[in-house]
Chains A and B, each alone.
Chain A
Amino acid sequence: DIVMTQSPDSLAVSLGERATINCKSSQSVLYSSNNKNYLAWYQQKPGQPPKLLIYWASTRESGVPDRFSGSGSGTDFTLTISSLQAEDVAVYYCHHYYSPHALTFGGGTKVEIK
């Protein structure tokens, strides 16, 4: 299986400041046939299901604020919140869907307000 490792486990950021979350896969999730990275990011607030933010590593889902951005390729990926808002307090997960390996998620990164 592809192991997804997120860092840090948690971070505290001041309102309006940048938050950066890293995700590393144990092998490349770049599909050579279409040159796409098979990676998504989700946001989960307490008591709620996860919400899709980003897919194909950098494509923002419709309705997601543009302060959220995804980057990276191959095995190293980043989710950036450019200006943290109070409503962004949540746990963030990366997720690979590079077949035929079992779909797996990172361990999560908890974002809090400093």
Chain B
Amino acid sequence: QLQLQESGPGLVKPSETLSLTCSVSGGSISSSSHYWGWIRQPPGKGLEWIGSFHYSGKIHYNPSLKSRVTILVDMSKNQLSLKLSSVTAADTAVYYCGREYYDFWSGYPGWFDPWGQGTQVTVSS
């Protein structure tokens, strides 16, 4: 059974870089049938897609975050990582990683299933 587990610092100072890792077990991050992505949810609010990675090298970022986001993958560790630079209080959220359907018609990511449990990140001095 595929499982995803997010990890990283729960507290980040303003202007610093947020770094999170998603460890995947029960499946391979090099699957051609899936993207792997990040989503976040600010306290009491809705969901925001951050970006998605396919092992072929395709990466898609939310344009609103693109200048600050980097998604990397360590195939040997079966891990996905997220780096978000120059954080502010507005970046406080629960951060989720998830597996995404790979749409062979468009070559783009689809729905998320499953999701990790999420990790709370607070930006504060």
- Listed in ascending order, the chain A residues whose CB lies under 8 Å from chain B are 1, 31, 33-34, 36, 38, 40, 42, 48-52, 55, 61, 93, 95, 97, 99-100, 102-108
Instruction: Tell me whether A93 and B103 are in contact (CB under 8 A).
Output: no
Interface SS of chain A: helix, strand, loop or mixed?
loop
With a cutoff of 8 Å between Cβ atoms, the chain B residues found around residue A104 in the complex are 49
- Listed in ascending order, the chain B residues whose CB lies under 8 Å from chain A are 46-49, 52, 60, 62-64, 96, 98, 101, 103, 105-118
Contact status of A50 and B49, CB under 8 A, knowing A97-B103, A97-B109, A99-B108 = no
Instruction: Tell me whether B106 and A50 are in contact (CB under 8 A).
Output: no
Interface centre among B49, B62, B98, B112 (most CB of A within 10 A): B112
Instruction: Tell me whether A49 and B113 are in contact (CB under 8 A).
Output: no
Instruction: Tell me whether B111 and A52 are in contact (CB under 8 A).
Output: yes
Of the residues B60, B64, B96, B111, contact of A95 by C-beta under 8 Å = B111
Instruction: Tell me whether A40 and B47 are in contact (CB under 8 A).
Output: no
With a cutoff of 8 Å between Cβ atoms, the chain B residues found around residue A34 in the complex are 105
Nearest opposing residue in chain A for B116, CB measure? A49
With a cutoff of 8 Å between Cβ atoms, the chain B residues found around residue A106 in the complex are 46
